[in-house]
Chain A
């Protein structure tokens, strides 16, 4: 288990970094496949986000517990087996809870195994940090991932079907943009969100730069 020496303190940032600064989808561009594939409705997006968070949480926690026991040479293989185990658990769990969601998500539940975000967190964070810190970080990352899925899912369902969680929003006269539910819509909406974030970032930098200039002149 963790020794005192390598244990860094758990701060609020350990949790928050996954939601904003290191958001797995919008900033790191990891785990894109499920992000695009199952976000045509909010309900699917939520189910996928929660399932991924569960797998992320359990597998990084286990990796963190076992991090001194796993030999360095076979660590990736060991991580993948751990992840695959929890994905199998989730697969059967969702099947038991809601067959409807299981059919909607299809093979994408099993494809959580190859979500690069989970392997990335196991390698970059869980293998170097204590259990508690890992759990807190994974919770943040999972929340960030779910949030990103919801961002996409809500836009696509709103524009593509005119509903939100199945409830009609726009009334009778709305003509749905069917393309948003189809594959190209996924690419366009994610591209749009990335554009928005890039624009906000650029404006902030420009703002900071002008303030610096103003401070220099004074």
Chain B
């Protein structure tokens, strides 16, 4: 597979360079909301959805800004788009599932400051992807994010039942788990190369 082909871009973003486990983007929600699979999965889907919207919007904005030589406004424009996309998702979740809305709590508006989303927008600009490639990239990044957050939640549900020394409870344990997961994902490094 060539590095430009759509399946490779998808796999690359989802597994080889997983946003959470290899690029360290979007760590906060992964550590914060991954207590239970039941909340982790919807959070992942919401994030992936925002990623998709903002990726398409970021591509459009970049085309416009480049046409007018206004690249220095890129960052501010991207952030504004992401913030509005999050608002949209927040309103629809509140409307369709108030219970889920409460479970996600503060982490829902915080999707705005999820670096994975801005990361998708910035990286696709850096790599100079066209619209289809950007779509494949953001879908892959979203799938990778869901994968990582659900895997983390599954591990943490198991660890809750284990007898962990009291100093290691909480954040330190989650980080060690993430480290082990990340080690496992390093095995994909040669894939498709």
A82 CB → nearest B CB, Å: 10
Interface size classification for chain B? 35 or more
A interface residues, how many (CB within 8 angstroms): 41
> B179 contacts which of A29, A88, A187 (Cβ < 8 Å)?
A187
Question: What DSSP secondary structure best describes chain A's contact surface?
Answer: helix
For residue A34, which residues in chain B have a CB less than 8 angstroms away from its CB?
24
A58 within 8 A of B: no
Whether the pair A37, B176 counts as a contact (CB closer than 8 A) is no
With contacts A88-B72, A119-B113, A188-B176 taken as known, whether A113 is within 8 angstroms of B182 at the C-beta atoms is no
A35 CB → nearest B CB, Å: 8
For residue A85, which residues in chain B have a CB less than 8 angstroms away from its CB?
76
Whether the pair A113, B167 counts as a contact (CB closer than 8 A) is no
B186 within 8 A of A: yes
With contacts A184-B180, A194-B175 taken as known, whether A111 is within 8 angstroms of B27 at the C-beta atoms is no
CA distance A110 to B78 in the complex (A): 11
For residue B72, which residues in chain A have a CB less than 8 angstroms away from its CB?
88, 92
Whether the pair A191, B175 counts as a contact (CB closer than 8 A) is yes
> A184 contacts which of B28, B117, B168, B182 (Cβ < 8 Å)?
B182
8 new A-B contacts at CB < 8 Å, known A111-B25, A194-B172: A34-B24, A36-B27, A91-B75, A107-B126, A115-B115, A184-B182, A187-B178, A199-B167
10 contacts between A and B (CB under 8 A): A33-B24, A33-B28, A33-B115, A110-B75, A114-B112, A187-B179, A191-B175, A194-B171, A195-B172, A202-B166
